[in-house]
Amino acid sequence: TQLLEQSPQFLSIQEGENLTVYCNSSSVFSSLQWYRQEPGEGPVLLVTVVTGGEVKKLKRLTFQFGDARKDSSLHITAAQPGDTGLYLCAGDSWGKLQFGAGTQVVVTP
Amino acid sequence: NAGVTQTPKFQVLKTGQSMTLQCAQDMNHNSMYWYRQDPGMGLRLIYYSASEGTTDKGEVPNGYNVSRLNKREFSLRLESAAPSQTSVYFCASSHLRLDSYYNEQFFGPGTRLTVL
């Protein structure tokens, strides 16, 4: 059972465009994490959001946690080829993570 | 500082064969995890060890066993491999604190397993 739904599944854009990835759940998590995974490697943590309504920025990446702590979004401004990867959201439940299926982002020059 | 290491990187098994996937971390983390990743499914937790000496089932434990050998090492064993166990397996570790929301997990590079 997939508790976290990510959309879209796949996103292909040109360098310089903006994109948004969504992560939705019917469950409330104590925190939500976003990871990026590149081919042949394990996921790497980008950010953890904890408080409902929280917004965190990491250079060109903006992460938002919904007021009810059930959904989150990742917005990338002026995407670059280096942003290409699989973006995974994960809800934290007492240290155990529930992962979404991921959004594959491809940024072409 | 190697982080989380996994061996082997690739493995091909025949149905019914057994094997052990090895994982080690050098970050002095208390908790370790085994996941499998299948297309369109994200990562699913197989087993985890919250601390040395304890192990617990995750979402998909059937067909697997684990051993937390010491604080550094956590192995995953397939006793009788099946084609449904073809997947990419990731080990992760974290310094789990139940009074903290910031439980970052560090992942190894993965083992790509094919069962024929």
* Pairwise CA distance, residues B23 & B106, whole Å: 12
Give A-chain residues touching B101 at CB under 8 angstroms: 30-31, 48, 50, 92
Give per-residue pLDDT as tens, B3-59.
999 999 999 999 999 999 999 999 999 999 999 999 888 899 999 999 998 999 999
Query: Is the pLDDT score of A28 beyond 90?
Result: no
Contact yes or no for A72/A63 (Cβ under 8 A): yes
Check CB contact under 8 Å for B103 and A102. no
Question: pLDDT at position A15, please?
Answer: 97
Give per-residue pLDDT as tens, A39-48.
999 999 999 9
A82 touches chain B (CB under 8 A): no
Report, as an integer, the average pLDDT of A8-15. 96
Please report which confidence band the pLDDT of residue B96 belongs to, taking 50, 70 and 90 as the band edges: confident
Identify the closest residue of chain B to A4 by CA–CA distance: B42
Which of B53-87 are b and which e, b meaning 16 or more Cβ less than 10 Å from the residue's Cβ? Answer: eebeebbbbeebebebeebbbbbbebeebeeebbb
* Nearest beta carbon to residue A97 from set B102, B105, B108: B105
Higher-pLDDT residue of A80 and A2 is A80
Q: How many CB atoms lie within 10 A of CB B14?
A: 9
| Per-residue H/E/C for chain A | CCCEEEECCEEEEECCCCEEEEEEECCCCCEEEEEEECCCCCCEEEEEECCCCCEEEECCEEEEECCCCCEEEEEECCCCHHHCEEEEEEEEECCEEEECCCEEEEEEC
A26 touches chain B (CB under 8 A): no
Three-state SS at B1: coil
> Best of B5, B23, B37 to disrupt the A interface by mutation (most A CBs within 10 Å)?
B37
Q: With the C-alpha atoms ordered B79, B111, A37, A63, is the resulting torsion angle positive or negative?
A: positive
What's the CA angle centered on B110, arms A63 and A41, to 5 degrees?
A: 45
Query: Is the pLDDT score of B98 beyond 80?
Result: no
Question: pLDDT at position A93, please?
Answer: 80
Check CB contact under 8 Å for A101 and B41. yes
Check CB contact under 8 Å for A2 and B42. yes
